[in-house]
Structure 1
């Protein structure tokens, strides 16, 4: 399985009865690097604003104390505040690990359980395996590419199984979809 959907191996015959996939959330290296960069940028702009206000260089690079406080210092301060607010949002989402969860398919109990971490609560959906009609593979290329696996469930909207963000490689998406469709004994749609 891919890094997004990791199959948890089970011992003995239980592996034929249960499939558990973990789904990555917001706590990824790319998001952490982005949060660090935005934090450094926000602090830099804020320190530049303070340097121009106080008349002392608070940054080792350049001489921000030579900037006029009105309007350059104020604009730098606004950029700094915006950067720090965005950084605090990113760090909060990383701390929460938004979108992380699991997909559990249990043939013994005949149930499917999809769990994801939301902003302030755990979001969970349970339904019978017999209601699953197909595994759907969606591929859309272009400016905003989309590659995802979803379950077609009777009486419900399609339920997405892969994480939002970077699209999966097409070969991996096809392999994951085929494995899941084979396990659930349903059709694979969309290819």
Structure 2
């Protein structure tokens, strides 16, 4: 979260939101790509009876059913890896939250899937903001999110999707935003 002060003394608060370009997504995309490639090459090697893998000899596999199953798993893994790389390239869920006191506008922007809704943009007036709401749910599937409560609209999510952020960081972000917008902080 970064605050910028304009020349007139009023501030603009801009929060960058990390989308699918996180380290964990890169990690899993690489792991799935390597694993799927290995399975696919093992299936092809068992069919052609030519060793395509330097670290093992899949030519000893009987093509039906072992080589066929390896090829199927390799193809499925390759499709999943392509999906992971596609979401990383598009940076799905990435964007920013901008709170501008000078123009009196709040702008929430996120990148989505290709199509007519690729650019997801929500704007409203700062005077319509009623509160900043914190949603906390602990347990097996914890949820720690910030929402913007706006008059005449559904609550707008402000935090990134994925791994829950630490409670102290969530409280600090919520308090800073509520102070900046001069609205109450709900849910704590």
TM-score range, shorter chain: over 0.9
Residues in 1 aligned to 2:103 and 2:55: alpha-carbon distance in whole angstroms = 63
Q: Which runs of 5+ in 1 are unaligned?
A: 1-5
Contact 2:3 2:12 in 1 (8 A): no
Q: State the secondary structure of the residue aligned to 1:126.
A: strand
- 1:105: which partner in 2? 99
Give yes or no for the alignment of 1:66 onto 2:60: yes
Residues in 2 aligned to 1:48 and 1:108: alpha-carbon distance in whole angstroms = 62
- 1:148: which partner in 2? 145
The CA deviation string for residues 101-146 of structure 1, in whole angstroms up to 9 with x for no partner, is: 1111111111111010111221101111111110011111111111
Residues in 2 aligned to 1:8 and 1:44: alpha-carbon distance in whole angstroms = 48
Q: State the secondary structure of the residue aligned to 1:137.
A: strand
Give yes or no for the alignment of 1:90 onto 2:84: yes
Give yes or no for the alignment of 1:56 onto 2:53: no
Q: State the secondary structure of the residue aligned to 1:93.
A: helix
* TM-score, normalised by the number of residues in structure 1: 0.93
RMSD (CA atoms): 1.2
* TM-score, normalised by the number of residues in structure 2: 0.94
Query: Displacement of 1:92 after TM fit?
Result: 0.6
Partner of residue 172 from structure 1, selected from 166, 169, 172:
169
Q: Which runs of 5+ in 2 are unaligned?
A: none
1:129 and 1:11, CA in 2 relative to 1: closer, same or farther beyond 3 A? closer
1:11-26 alignment runs, 5 A limit:
14=9, 16-26=10-20
1:96 and 1:8, CA in 2 relative to 1: closer, same or farther beyond 3 A? farther
The CA deviation string for residues 158-185 of structure 1, in whole angstroms up to 9 with x for no partner, is: 1000100011000000000000000000
Residues in 1 aligned to 2:4 and 2:127: alpha-carbon distance in whole angstroms = 23
Query: Displacement of 1:9 after TM fit?
Result: 3.5
Contact 2:96 2:108 in 1 (8 A): yes
1:90 and 1:67, CA in 2 relative to 1: closer, same or farther beyond 3 A? same
- 2:27: which partner in 1? 33
Q: State the secondary structure of the residue aligned to 1:164.
A: coil
Query: Displacement of 1:148 after TM fit?
Result: 0.7
Query: Displacement of 1:21 after TM fit?
Result: 1.0
